[in-house]
């Protein structure tokens, strides 16, 4: 992560020092927590921005790390790695703004159907996706999911967390993660099937 | 063929691009806090970070200053009704708190138009949802929620009997695998969160510590709600302030004292744009006096239904006004009413 205002101590990002090491160190040396920000803030902000929009994400990413900093003494490395812990905090904050998220999904779902100009043009499969599943349809599918299912799915898809990490982030059994993702995939299946069909033509 | 992860990554990909300036500001806030935290001396990057922290503090301070009180408030007639309701609320006996072996019972009835992909399926059809929760007095006993979605009153405005409505196609509701109409057991000590609510310690579900921190002076309470609406990033602060005050007043929390309920009603009179409406019937069939506010940016009129003589907030509803909402003007697209009480067992309901 490159910031315009601060450059972390190069020693602070030395390879071999785990997130948990830096978190422990920050208990006696609070500014050490900045290393965790440098390692994860961009990803956390990206996840938040997709969920609630860039403007709100800019504020929430700061809150995520302030909450994490204030609760670092209670962090239990045996229960979760630092990354899913941070995404769990981020997801909790999103819940306080779920009306913003719901309105955003509804607004996207109402967009006039068109080639997905809002998708990343560098995404190699974008054209394939555009051909079958529009962003409107994806947003509508997400809007129709329960909060718990959507949280699990978006931690999987947008935060790139594994099942165990999602379970740790949400504080739920991994079996529940599986059932929630199963439910989410059932909702997405028609979109994926159409994409497959289009791609095979 | 693509997988689900790839499919989803096409949505809002443009938002996820890094914003170095935003991250720098967030980092400066964090480092400013870390600097104040007990520990050894500031690290070597300190001076540059400190400059950023000062700049950010100034920016935040400027934003806060913009959110100052606007003393326009409610119309005189609306303020009079709110004051009358507040006076009656202040005379009420304190709500009973569940004792050992008892439960706080909350029955939430709501109705809304079904939307599919952002379009109203039938603006003339309200689909109902009913939620009942039993929260024990002690944290060692599990709580329970019952919910029914996609239902309709068996007779108009009579929620005593709800029947499945095939035209209401809400998604099946589940919590961790428990499905529609199933009793959902909440683990002992876990909060019971009804739809639209937050866990304890919020305007939606005020617990003792949250209530203790609320001022009972109406204007101070209004300012507190307004500050929270800003912090919670409501797009329209006046609308958000009204929402938070209403959420608390309708929460059914037994921890709200008569004085605080009265203050909540009077605090609503400080929200700009609040006006007096007509008389309507709630989902429970109770007649009430409407106090309303139009949010012009969204084309929505929020109506709060009071019993001024009894000092009760009976319910609320959202009505489309011209433009903005995409619905015909006058369409009621969301209603809510809630009742609560103390009962002796799960499944038991208060008399009456």
ipTM value of the model? Answer: 0.74
> What mean pLDDT, rounded, does chain B reach?
74
The pLDDT of residue A122 is: 33
Chain A: closest CA distance from residue B9 (Å): 7
Q: Which of residues B315 and A98 earns the better pLDDT score?
A: B315
For B315, phi and psi rounded to 5 degrees?
Answer: 175, -175
The pLDDT of residue A77 is: 67
> What mean pLDDT, rounded, does chain A reach?
74
The pLDDT of residue B156 is: 46
Q: Which of residues B39 and B98 earns the better pLDDT score?
A: B98
- A170 at the B interface (CB within 8 A)? no
The pLDDT of residue B180 is: 40
The pLDDT of residue B336 is: 87
CB contact under 8 A, A140 and B118: yes
CA distance A56 to B232: 10
Count Cβ atoms within 10 A of the Cβ of residue B81 and give its class: 0-12 exposed, 13-18 middle, 19 or more buried. buried
The pLDDT of residue A116 is: 36
Q: Which of A3, A99, A128, A132 to mutate to test the interface with B (most CBs of B within 10 A)?
A: A3
CB contact under 8 A, A66 and B30: yes
Closest residue to B31, CB basis, from A31, A49, A106: A31
Choice among A45-49, A58-62, A102-106, B72-76 with the minimum mean pLDDT: A102-106
CA dihedral B303, B308, B310, B313 (to 10 degrees): 20
CA distance B147 to A195: 36
pLDDT at residue A91 greater than cutoff 60: yes
The pLDDT of residue B172 is: 46
Task: Kindly state the percentage of chain A with pLDDT values over 70.
Answer: 66
Contacts of A142 in chain B (CB under 8 A): 11
pLDDT at residue B246 greater than cutoff 80: yes
pLDDT at residue B13 greater than cutoff 90: no
- A137 at the B interface (CB within 8 A)? yes
CB contact under 8 A, B9 and A158: yes
CB contact under 8 A, A30 and B38: yes
Which are the contacts of B72, defined by CB distance < 8 A and separation ≥ 6? B272, B273
Give me B23's structure tokens.
Answer: 């991250």
CB contact under 8 A, B7 and A191: yes
What is the tens place of the pLDDT at every residue in B130-163?
Answer: 778 888 887 777 777 776 666 666 554 444 566 6
CB contact under 8 A, A28 and B40: yes
Q: Which of residues A9 and A145 earns the better pLDDT score?
A: A145
Q: What is the mean pLDDT of residues B225-242?
A: 86
Chain A: closest CA distance from residue B143 (Å): 18
Task: Kindly state the percentage of chain A with pLDDT values over 90.
Answer: 14
Nearest in space to B17 (alpha carbons), one of B9, B5, B25, B8: B9
Q: Which of residues B238 and A14 earns the better pLDDT score?
A: B238
Nearest in space to A119 (alpha carbons), one of A109, A129, A105, A111: A129
CB contact under 8 A, B22 and A61: yes
Assign B308 a pLDDT band (cuts: 50, 70, 90): very high
Chains A, B: CB pairs < 8 Å: 223
Most confident range, picked from A96-105, A162-171, B258-267: B258-267
Assign B87 a pLDDT band (cuts: 50, 70, 90): very high
Q: How far is CA B197 from the centre of its chain?
A: 6
Strands B115-116 and B103-113: unpaired
CB contact under 8 A, A110 and B39: no
Contacts of B30 in chain A (CB under 8 A): 33-34, 37, 62, 65-66, 69
Most confident range, picked from A12-21, B69-78, B117-126, B270-279: B270-279
Closest residue to A62, CB basis, from B29, B119, B232: B29
Nearest in space to B277 (alpha carbons), one of B126, B56, B81, B62: B81
Nearest in space to B162 (alpha carbons), one of B114, B122, B127, B196: B127
Please calculate the CA angle B76-B80-B85 and round it to the nearest 5 degrees.
150
- A107 at the B interface (CB within 8 A)? yes
Q: How far is CA B194 from the centre of its chain?
A: 10
């Amino acid at each position: 992560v490159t910031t315009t205002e601060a450059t972390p101590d190069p020693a602070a990002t030395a390879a071999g020092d785990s997130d948990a090491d830096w978190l422990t160190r920050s208990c006696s040396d609070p500014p050490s927590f900045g290393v965790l920000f440098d390692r994860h803030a961009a990803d956390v902000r990206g996840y938040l921005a997709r969920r609630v929009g860039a403007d709100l994400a800019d504020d929430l990413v700061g809150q995520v790390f302030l909450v994490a900093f204030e609760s670092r003494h209670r962090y239990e490395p045996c229960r979760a790695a630092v990354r899913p812990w941070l995404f769990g905090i981020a997801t909790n904050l999103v819940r306080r703004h779920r009306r913003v998220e719901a309105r955003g999904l509804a607004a996207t779902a109402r967009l006039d159907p068109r080639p997905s100009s809002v998708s990343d043009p560098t995404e190699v499969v974008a054209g394939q996706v555009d051909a079958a599943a529009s962003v409107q349809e994806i947003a509508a599918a997400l809007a129709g999911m329960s909060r718990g299912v959507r949280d699990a799915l978006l931690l999987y898809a947008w935060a790139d967390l594994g099942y165990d990490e999602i379970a740790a982030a949400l504080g739920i059994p991994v079996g529940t993660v599986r059932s929630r993702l199963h439910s989410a995939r059932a909702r997405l299946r028609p979109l994926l099937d159409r994409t497959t069909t289009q791609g095979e033509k | 063929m693509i997988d689900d992860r790839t499919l989803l990554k096409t949505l809002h990909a443009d938002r996820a691009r890094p914003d170095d300036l935003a991250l720098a500001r967030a980092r400066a806030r964090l480092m400013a806090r870390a600097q104040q935290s007990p520990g050894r001396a500031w690290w070597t990057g300190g001076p540059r970070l400190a400059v950023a922290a000062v700049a950010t503090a100034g920016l935040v301070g400027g934003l806060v200053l913009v959110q100052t009180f606007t003393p326009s408030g409610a119309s005189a007639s609306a303020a009079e009704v709110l004051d009358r309701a507040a006076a009656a609320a202040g005379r009420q006996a304190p709500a009973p708190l569940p004792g050992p072996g008892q439960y706080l019972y909350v029955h939430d009835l709501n109705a809304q138009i079904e939307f599919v992909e952002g379009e109203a399926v039938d603006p003339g059809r309200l689909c109902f949802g009913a939620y009942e929760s039993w929260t024990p007095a002690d944290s060692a006993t599990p709580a329970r929620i019952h919910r029914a979605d996609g239902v309709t009153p068996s007779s108009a405005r009579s929620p005593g009997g709800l029947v499945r409505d095939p035209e209401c196609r809400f998604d099946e509701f589940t919590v961790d695998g428990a499905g529609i109409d199933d009793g959902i057991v909440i683990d002992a000590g876990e909060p019971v969160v009804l739809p639209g609510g937050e866990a304890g310690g919020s305007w939606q579900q005020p617990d003792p510590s949250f209530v203790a921190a609320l001022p009972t002076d109406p204007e101070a309470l209004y300012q507190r709600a307004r500050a929270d609406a800003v912090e919670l990033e409501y797009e329209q602060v006046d609308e958000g302030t009204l929402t938070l005050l209403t959420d608390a007043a309708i929460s059914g929390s037994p921890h709200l004292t008569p004085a605080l309920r009265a203050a909540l009603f009077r605090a609503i009179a400080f929200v700009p744009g609040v006006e007096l409406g007509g008389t309507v019937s709630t989902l429970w069939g109770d007649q009430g006096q409407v106090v309303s506010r139009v949010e012009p940016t969204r084309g929505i009129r929020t109506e709060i239904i009071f019993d001024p003589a009894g000092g009760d907030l009976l319910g609320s509803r959202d009505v489309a006004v011209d433009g903005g909402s995409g619905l015909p003007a006058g369409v009621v697209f969301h209603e809510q009413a809630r009742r609560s009480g103390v009962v002796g067992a799960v499944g038991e309901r208060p008399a009456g």
